[in-house]
Amino acid sequence: MAEEKRRNLGRGLSALLGDSGVVAATSAAERPGATKPDSGAAGTVLKGLRTMPVSALRPGKFQPRRVFDEDSIADLAESVREKGILQPLLVRPHPDLPDCFEIIAGERRWRAAQRAQLHDAPVIVRELTDKEALEVALVENLQRQDLTPLEEADGYRRLVEEFNHTQEELAKAVGKSRSHVANMMRLLALPEPIKEMVDKGTLSAGHARALLTAADPIGLARQVTEKALNVRQTEKLVATEGKVRPNGGARAVPVEDADIAALARDLTEGLGVKVSIKPLGKGGELTVHYGSLEQLDDILARLTRKV
């Protein structure tokens, strides 16, 4: 199953780049210049593979990674120093610097090349729109499993908010299921302290999703880390939240509370956004949270199809 998912993701990157964009090769050093272009699925190949001065490359503004592990870069630099860069970087002409190129995929390799004091690096130059640049950068990092859950979620958010992707279109573009995209984007609704725990690896994405419907997610997150609870135990903790008083005595809580919490989680899972339910006597309130008008349109469309 894991291999099948990886193959599907690989096809997603090939579809974005064109087959020639994901095959490493070697080429004589040459400066960028106007040539007869080859069409690709995302943008146009400008003279295919070449080598380019490392100094002519600049980090991409659509890089989804926020943190680069320095120890990992140092290890990669040692490998690059001994064997060179085995896979070319994907770049596009820099929109603001005429003599430079913006890195779309391969910034870790570029950083390692700088540390290893390499003068040149193999690159593939493509004409890419901003939307294509973000899509390709996101998929390339997903393939390498280099992103934290929140970096992945923020990449999805940018494609939805900045480039008007629906979650279904986005899922196809990056080779993931729509439910996976929706579940990852839900993490962006977490309080900042919990996001920091996820970024540091203290909490997993599964733990974080379980805490989304909690009334006191930060307090429960501390309990989860202190007690080293697994995801299933975290879900049970959220379901029983507030049923025990600080002095240890149980307060009177309807048995239905656990069912309501489970229903809220099911709705959150199904809609891909946070849903909260507040019982009020015989009735109650159901609140659906959304992060953008595009997300609201997607929710309304899916609710309308279900009616």
CA dist., res. 3 & res. 68, Å (int): 27
| Domain CATH number, residue 16 | 3.90.1530.10
User: What's the number of domains the chain is made of?
Assistant: 2
- For residue 95, being part of any structural domain is answered with yes
Query: Residues 284, 278: contact at Cβ < 8 Å?
Result: yes
147, 167, 196: which is the final residue of a domain?
Answer: 147
Greatest pairwise CA separation for the chain in angstroms: 78
Residue 46 lies in a domain: yes
pLDDT at 47: 56
Q: What is the mean pLDDT of the chain?
A: 75
pLDDT reported for residue 277:
83
- Is the pTM for the entire model greater than 0.75? no
Regarding whether 198 and 130 lie in a shared domain, the answer is no
Q: Which domain holds residue 80?
A: 2-147
Which three-class secondary structure state does DSSP give residue 275? strand
Do the Cβ atoms of 60 and 104 come closer than 8 Å? yes
Residue 163 located in a structural domain: no
In which residue ranges of the chain is pLDDT below 50?
1-45, 244-256, 306-307
Smallest Cα–Cα separation from 64: which of 168, 200, 193, 174?
174
35 lies in the same domain as 98: yes
Look at phi and psi of residue 272 and say left if phi exceeds 0, alpha if psi is from -120 to 50, else beta.
Answer: left
Residue 166 lies in a domain: no
Same domain, 135 and 6: yes
Which residue in the list 107, 135, 151, 152 is annotated as catalytic? 107
Answer yes or no: is 17 within a domain.
yes
Known catalytic residue: 30?
no
Q: Which of 124, 147, 170 is a domain's end point? A: 147
Q: At 188, which CATH number?
A: 1.10.10
SS3 sequence, 235-247? Answer: HHHHHCCCCECCC
Flag whether 173 is in a domain: no
When computed from its CA atoms, the radius of gyration of the chain, rounded to whole angstroms, is 23
Q: How high is the pLDDT of residue 97? A: 87
Q: Is residue 142 part of a domain?
A: yes
Query: What pLDDT, on the 0 to 100 scale, is given for residue 17?
Result: 43
Q: Are 304 and 215 in contact (CB under 8 A)?
A: no
- Any residues with CB less than 8 A from the CB of 282 and at least 6 apart, and which? none
69 within domain boundaries: yes
Coil vs helix vs strand at 202: coil
Q: Identify the pLDDT of residue 54.
A: 92
Euclidean distance between CA atoms 233 and 231, whole angstroms: 5
* 147, 165, 195 - which closes a domain: 147
pLDDT at 176: 81
